[in-house]
Amino acid sequence: MASLRDTRRRITSVKNTRQITRAMKLVAGAKLRRATSAATAAKPYQQTLVRVLGRVVGKAGDTQHPLLTKPDNDTDVVIAVMSSDRGLCGGFNNQLLRKVQSDIDAMIADGKTVRLLTFGKKSTAHFSKRGYTVEASTIDLDPSEYSGEAQKLADKLMVEMAENGFERAFVAFNDYRSVLSQIPTLAQVLPMVVDEESDSGGGDIIYEPDGAELLGRLLPMALRTQLFQAFLETQAGEQASRMAAMDAATRNASDLIDDLTLLYNRGRQAAITTELTEIVSGAEAL
């Protein structure tokens, strides 16, 4: 009977766990709808701004801007890594952190000094434990703070670039494609890479003010927008991964409950059969 009691306790425990994972799935689903809505709404703005920049650069001729020019530094690289603060989201963090670590090791082997700016507890813990230089760490960000944090990060990078503080700056994040697909991405943000685009329509377009002033206004805006979009993509990907992980955990718990229930019923049936056999044997002995 002790084994039956243990099985019954296990069934109760797994049922409680299933309730938790089911609730976490529902919460992640609600957060996912808000996160995907924000990421989807912001993406067309970023894409349009990139196209406008390409046209301005194409028309600006030889006009240069500091954000487009390689700093006088051949050794330092800055990487802003965006991960989640909490776990229970499948391989969301691991797939990104493994890629970033591999890229960092390749840069170090090439003679570069890599400085990390981490956003999220998972990336901070991952790189700190492995001996990498984590220059600054930001944790427990609320989605309402993403815009302000993107502004601060952009300002910090632009100031350092003006002082030749690094050769290149990257942002590492999971690019949200769908609930089941988030692509680990390492994108260069400084110096900015803008593909020149010619205006369609066959006519000459005169930009006012001139190209230099337009670039001075649009490039910092594009940098902030790119960083803000990375925060939004990370949030959407985290909630999608957590919802998928909790859905799988709930289904696994249900399967385990079925297996344990079958085991319990078999054990109980065996115990009843044994008792009946003993009763019948005792009656026959009398």
Residues noted as catalytic? 89
Q: Residue type for 161, please?
A: M
**Under a CB-based contact definition with an 8 Å cutoff, are residues 89 and 122 in contact?**
no
Q: What does the radius of gyration of the chain's CA atoms come to, in whole angstroms?
A: 28
**Under a CB-based contact definition with an 8 Å cutoff, are residues 234 and 82 in contact?**
yes
**Under a CB-based contact definition with an 8 Å cutoff, are residues 82 and 172 in contact?**
yes
Chain centroid to CA 249: 20
Q: Which residues contact 170 (CB under 8 A, 6 or more apart)?
A: 77, 78, 79, 80, 186, 187, 188, 189
How distant, in Å, are the alpha carbons of 36, 39, 233, 238 from that of 178? 9, 12, 11, 11
Angle between helices 146-162 and 211-285 (to 10 degrees): 130
Residues pairing with 181 in the sheet: 178
Give the number of other CB atoms < 10 A from CB of residue 186.
16
Nearest CA-CA partner of 171 in 46, 65, 35, 86: 46
Distance of alpha carbon 177 from alpha carbon 191, whole angstroms: 26
